[in-house]
Structure 1
Amino acid sequence: MQKDHIGNDVRILSHQIHRWIENAPNKKKIDSVTGANAWIIGYISDKTDNNEDVFQKDLESCFEITRSTASKVVNLMVEKGLIERQSVPWDARLKKLVLTDRAREVNKLMVEDFTEVEKILSKGFTEQEMKQFFDYMHRMQKNMKEATAR
């Protein structure tokens, strides 16, 4: 019998989620939007709904990506017409990220699909089990963050 491996099981689940999202009911309507774009649109939407500005550095820390990766993703999203960079009055060098009308429409469709995938993933779990699951996941993330900070 093969021993369970956390990393492999997380990778498998990640691929399964990715495949589901790529074939989700609304995916054909938002075909040019990648999974990473979808998470970023959702993040910016949540922050702006709370009257918070979002900057590239926020994406770097939230999604634990490098500055160059964030820059590439933001540039591609600007090219796709999903976000715009807007100057802020207090610093001419700083640009906040703002969703376009197209991205707001895409976000509505994505929320439907994300809600559905969350239902699928949590099916059969109690509220307490889900709390424990997230506690474990956050501890593992912390462990990995500490290990990579060395």
Structure 2
Amino acid sequence: MQPKISFCLEWKMVSNLMRHSANACTTCVEATNLTGMQLFILEYLYQHQEQDVFQRDLEAEFHVRRSTVTGILKGMEKKGLIQRLSVEEDARLKRIILTPQAKSLHREVEMAVVRMEKIALRGLSKAEIEVFLEILEKMKANLQEDMLTYDEQKGE
């Protein structure tokens, strides 16, 4: 009899596979050595070019810590993909913009994201995908609610 594997362990394995898949899909993006997260941030910045985007927006959108986003952005800056520009009203705030180099990679980045999603969703019906996305939204809401409760208990 097979031992029962917990949901959390299964989720972690899928998450690891998605990260590896995202990293593999980026190798074809014009030799930029993008990480999977950099790929998703580039796509987010491209889709929100007409808005002011700050580091805190990325932290909230991707549910990651400030230190994580700081490291990712430093790497992207070093690769010449983004610039962080001070805002007149508050020099501490840095608006994040894509460089022309990053904009020129958009089509390849978009294709890499589509390719990765096609691989991950292969064999699933449209109805299964819709149900899965609904379940993911509920799970995110549950976890976010729990984190708020935890933060309140800690006094933050």
Same fold (TM over 0.5): yes
1:105-146 CA deviation, whole Å, 9 max, x = no partner?
A: 333212112111212222222222211101111111222222
Residue 30 (structure 1) aligns with: 31
- Matched to 1:12, the amino acid is M
* TM-score normalised per structure 1: 0.84
Structure 2: tracts of 5 or more residues without a match: 151-156
Residue 45 (structure 1) aligns with: 46
- Superposed CA RMSD in Å reads 2.1
Residue 95 (structure 1) aligns with: 94
Structure 1: tracts of 5 or more residues without a match: none
Task: Say if 2:29 and 2:108, in contact at 8 Å, map to a contact too.
Answer: no
Residue 13 (structure 1) aligns with: 14
Change (3 A) 1:82 1:110: same
* TM-score normalised per structure 2: 0.81
| 1:90 to partner: Cα distance | 4.3
Task: Say if 2:26 and 2:39, in contact at 8 Å, map to a contact too.
Answer: no
- Matched to 2:6, the amino acid is H
| 1:26 to partner: Cα distance | 4.9
SS of residue paired to 2:115: helix
State the distance in 2 between where 1:128 and 1:28 align. 31
How many pairs align? Answer: 148
Task: Say if 1:38 and 1:107, in contact at 8 Å, map to a contact too.
Answer: no
| 1:25 to partner: Cα distance | 7.5
